[in-house]
Amino acid sequence: MNVLKHVDANMDSLISDLQTLIRQPSVSAKNEGIEKCAKLVQKLLKKSGIKSEILRLKKGVAPIVFGEIKSKQNSTKTLMFYNHYDVQPAEPFDLWNDPPFSGIKKGNKIFGRGSTDDKGELITRIKAVEACLDATDDVPCNIKFVIEGEEETGSANIEKYLKKYKQKFSCDGVIWEFGYVDAKNRPIIGLGMKGLLFVELSVKESIQDAHSSLAVLIKNPAWRLIDAVKTLRDSSGHVLIKDWYKEVTPLSKQDLELIKNEPFDENVFKKEFGIQSFVNNMKGMDAKKALVAGATCNIAGFVSGYIGDGAKTVLPSDALVKIDFRLIPQMDPKKQVTRLKNHLKSKGFGDIKIKIFHGEAAARTNSSDPFVSQVKDAAEKSFGTSILNVSNAGTGPMYSFVDILKSPCISIGSTYMFSKIHSPNEFARVDLLKKTTKCMCLIMENFGKN
């Protein structure tokens, strides 16, 4: 196939373009380089022969880069590539072996913030379309790109963009912004993502920190918060908030069969993170089911009092905890917020201040959808094998795409599962970038034929 040969012959161009993207910082949490990166992405799309434009909502909101190219042979089917150009902060800088935005290549790896999440993935999609255009002067189906700049901060405005540009974004299927590759180089085809509810609970007891000897008289807000947080879940991880699981439906027989067949090397996983056991000492099928369909209540951060080196006998005036709840299908973030508030009041913690940062529902694509078999066939031709995953353990705005565009979403890509995404020394593997680019070419071909 000439298109695949074109990918092989042009890997230097792919690497160069990825390095260019990495070298442009685009940290959404700090609004660093967002506008510049959006313009750079638009430029790369145009260079590859893809018509592109920058879409905006209002001042202060990161723009979306939209790309589109219509097929000369099949204008009835439209495939969308959803990606993002923003990245996580690179701190702590001192833990990087090379500057975080260097894009340096060492052997089979390209290092830098965003090298895999998500600039590496984005470049495979762009280069796949470029390969089709250069080799055949056409694409097998209509192609659209929706590339946002706020994914790493919760995609706060993606729903507004989808509603405003619903007609422009209309499509028949969405290839999601990432896809994991396991330790045995097998691509994980993700059919869904968990939802997320991120909240901050805080207590302020006094107007100033005090000497800890006064703890006999002044209430410690940290203890108050600890007591409240302990009511949210039990030691096995089960959320104790009333009706938290009320709307959830059990996994289907088909889902359970897929989960059963998913490989999961517990020992490799534990070794990578330096842990001895899982929550509630889970093993085997229970551990796999938890990754796919387990709701969580996780303390993401707890701040109170003195946290510097050495000792300081202080009684803090306030305390704050950040909590993220992973949600599973049928859990409505708005309902869950109400349930959380009611729970705290019923337990005598109505004084605790609650701040809501983000809410996102879960989404899944049915494994019997024809789109799934098209992607799986492409993955197996490119990688030699593939694994179907009922749902990724992480979260993204997939529900908004399914709900508004009414299109199935599937994640597949080049992200090696231990590529240190969101951490120092993040890297992309060149061999996986090549296989993924070829996979995207084959997905377009399959999608256009069916």
What pLDDT, on a 0 to 100 scale, did the predictor assign at position 64? Answer: 98
Tell me the pLDDT tens digit for each residue of 197-228: 999 999 999 999 999 999 999 999 999 999 99
pLDDT on residue 268: 85
Q: What is the C-alpha to C-alpha distance for residues 439 and 386, in angstroms, rounded to an integer?
A: 11
**Contact (Cβ atoms closer than 8 angstroms) between residue 244 and residue 295:** yes
According to the model, what pLDDT value does residue 350 have?
A: 95
CB neighbour burial string for 36-47, b if at least 16 within 10 angstroms, e if fewer: ebbebbbebbee
Q: Which 3 state secondary structure label does DSSP give 92? A: coil
Domains of the chain: 2-191+365-449 (3.40.630.10), 195-248+295-360 (3.30.70.360)
pLDDT tens-digit profile of 338-369?
A: 999 999 999 999 999 999 988 889 999 999 99
pLDDT less than 50: residues of the chain: none
Identify the pLDDT of residue 263. 87
Looking at residue 73, what is its pLDDT?
85
**Tokens representing residue 393 in the block:** 């353990």
Residue 228: the pLDDT is 98
Rama region for 410: left / alpha / beta (φ>0; ψ in -120 to 50; rest)? beta
CB-CB contact of 301 with 170 (8 Å): no
DSSP-assigned beta bridge partners for residue 145: 67, 81
Pairing of strands 387-389, 192-204: unpaired
Q: Which phi and psi angles does 32 have, rounded to 5°? A: -100, 110
